Amino acid sequence: MTVTYHLGYDMRAPSFGAPADILYPAAIEQCAWADQRGFTSVTLSEHHASDDGYLPSPIVLGSAIAGATENLLVRLSVVLLPLHHPLKIAEDLAVLDLVSEGRLRLTVAGGYRAAEYAQFGVDMKRRPSLMEEGIEALKQAWTGEPFEFRGETVRVLPRPHQRPRPAIVLGGASPATARRAAAMCDGYEPLAPRLYEIYLEELEKLGRPLPDQPAPPKAGPMALFVSEDPDRDWSRIAPHALHETNSYGRWAAGMKGSVYAEYDDAEELRASGRYLVLTPDECVEFAEERGTVTLKPLMGGVDPSIGWASMELFVDKVLPELNG
């Protein structure tokens, strides 16, 4: 089995963790290092109005990472499309795809936090119509040809590197997003397996080709670290893991189908399996079972030295076993 290795960053910097001016350069340096050692991609996410400085500009960070790497795919998952002007984000994404020479991988979604929409003065009830407008604008903008937008003839240049354009994948948590993805997008990343079934059913109804992959991969842990002493390192990581999961849990409170939960106790969280600190041998077994590993070396503002130790151990003791 071929195992793929990935990185993920959301750049949370809570007050008790490493500061943002340490975390951002570390993320770029870690991506450059991982790129030279066969990692496949880095995933960057987007949120706003966050007390811990959650990454608000994945396109900017993605461009910096693209400039420091040669092969790493830059996955933006997700871009909160309704919060952006469609023409401006079409330009920004095109530039990212150009500087990365076609390494952009894009997933868009509407988000679920009223505070984000309020911060930008956007009516959250307009998410569906804004999403559809944004997706259609990206498609037309990336042709490089004039098109009608909000009553005006516009043209967006430069075009992205990829031809005919970068794929647009939709993330979602409702049947409506499954149907929208089938009608308008190139793929779908749902929160629940049943939604993917709806997506496939809708593709068949529309006569559109089914994806090569019958179902998205099973969701993995929120974060994974490799350690020679998991108990020791869990105690260092636990406050950051609690911060991350509880932040998501508060944000998603009341959201139907939410995969996030809040925990009062670090050991209860560890027992849930949502955050893993594995020995190299355990990580080999995990990777062979799943076929993929994603490391989040700066999770929850953890000290970069902890993330570096995990990455180096993965490369030194896990990769040789998987590759051998």
pLDDT tens digit at each of 324 positions of the chain: 689 999 999 999 999 999 999 999 999 999 999 999 999 999 999 999 999 999 999 999 999 999 999 999 999 999 999 999 999 999 999 999 999 999 999 999 999 999 999 999 999 999 999 999 999 999 999 999 999 999 999 999 999 999 999 999 999 999 999 999 999 999 999 988 899 999 999 999 999 999 987 677 777 899 999 999 999 999 999 999 999 999 999 998 866 666 788 999 999 999 999 999 999 999 999 999 999 999 999 999 999 999 999 999 999 999 999 987
Sign of torsion over alpha carbons 284, 287, 290, 295: positive
- Which residue, 64, 42, 34, 20, is CA-closest to 300? 20
| Domain annotation covers residue 58 | no
| Domain annotation covers residue 258 | yes
Give the CA count within 13 Å in the CB-facing half-sphere of 83: 22
- Which residue, 305, 292, 176, 299, is CA-closest to 238? 299
Structure confidence at residue 253 (pLDDT): 82
| Domain annotation covers residue 145 | no
Six-digit token pair at 112? Answer: 């679920």
Q: Are 84 and 134 in contact (CB under 8 A)?
A: yes
- Which residue, 106, 32, 41, is CA-closest to 73? 41
Structure confidence at residue 1 (pLDDT): 64
Q: Are 314 and 296 in contact (CB under 8 A)?
A: no
Q: Are 169 and 131 in contact (CB under 8 A)?
A: no
| Domain annotation covers residue 77 | no
Structure confidence at residue 8 (pLDDT): 98
Alpha carbon separation from 216 to 15, 71, 108 (Å, rounded): 35, 23, 16
CA 246 – CA 257 distance, rounded (Å): 16
Structure confidence at residue 252 (pLDDT): 87
| Domain annotation covers residue 131 | no
| Domain annotation covers residue 285 | yes
Strands 168-172, 187-190: pairing is parallel
Structure confidence at residue 53 (pLDDT): 98
Output the CA angle 246-248-252, nearest 5 degrees.
115
317 is in which domain, residue-wise? 220-324
| Domain annotation covers residue 244 | yes
CA 83 – CA 47 distance, rounded (Å): 10
Structure confidence at residue 203 (pLDDT): 97
| Domain annotation covers residue 170 | no
The total domain count for the chain is: 1
